[in-house]
Amino acid sequence: MNTPDQSRRIILGVAASDAHAVANQLIAHDLRALGYDVVNLGTCTPIEEFARAAETHPETLAVLIGSVIGHVHEDLRELKSAQRAGRITCPVVVGGNLSVGAAKSADSLERLRQLGVDYILSDLDELPALLVEIARLRSLPVRSAW
């Protein structure tokens, strides 16, 4: 097992209207096994809590927000405000079931970007490579994928 690296801090949580905890815990476990320092805010996490955690940990590599119930647009309505205020300055990654129903429209994904989401994951297997890319773009040493 790798030692947590504070320059690889990840803030992880599940969107405010979502109480699904299993995937959140598995993601936290896998990221820790890769040596990331995970601040896991758990389920039903409002943007205010993500903002407070990002302020407490300004070296955070990324904020990861999951949702499986399809109401993430409403849950993220305060994200842009937190970013404009400088409370969340790192990239925001969102993944899970991001709309009600099986169909994902381009309009729905564009709305997420307009809300302040930097990266949208369609598959959890994309997360390790995405974190490597975020680290590279931020000129930080990179970790290999799991």
- How high is the pLDDT of residue 42? 96
- How high is the pLDDT of residue 78? 97
For 66-105, how does the pLDDT look when each residue is reduced to its tens digit (9 = 90+)? 998 878 999 999 999 999 999 999 999 999 887 666 556 7
Structure tokens belonging to residue 79: 């994200």
* 93 falls within a domain: yes
Q: Across residues 104-109, what is the average pLDDT?
A: 77
Distances (CA, A) of 64 to 70, 98, 103: 16, 13, 22
* 138 falls within a domain: no
Q: How confident is the model at residue 108 (pLDDT cuts 50, 70, 90)?
A: confident
- How high is the pLDDT of residue 145? 46
Please tell me the pTM assigned to this model: 0.88
For 130-146, how does the pLDDT look when each residue is reduced to its tens digit (9 = 90+)? 999 999 998 755 544 44
CATH number at residue 92: 3.40.50.280
* 127 falls within a domain: no
* 137 falls within a domain: no
Residue 29 has pLDDT above 50, yes or no: yes
Domain count, the chain: 1
Q: Mapped to the 3 state alphabet, what secondary structure does the chain carry?
A: CCCCEEEEEEEEEEECCCCCCHHHHHHHHHHHHCCEEEEECCCCECHHHHHHHHHHCCCCCEEEEEECCCCHHHHCCCHHHHHHCCCCCCCEEEEECCCCCCCCCHHHHHHHHHCCCCEEECCHHHHHHHHHHHHHHCCCCCCCCC
* 34 falls within a domain: yes
Q: Across residues 109-113, what is the average pLDDT?
A: 91
* 132 falls within a domain: no
For 31-73, how does the pLDDT look when each residue is reduced to its tens digit (9 = 90+)? 999 999 999 999 999 999 999 999 999 999 999 999 988 789 9
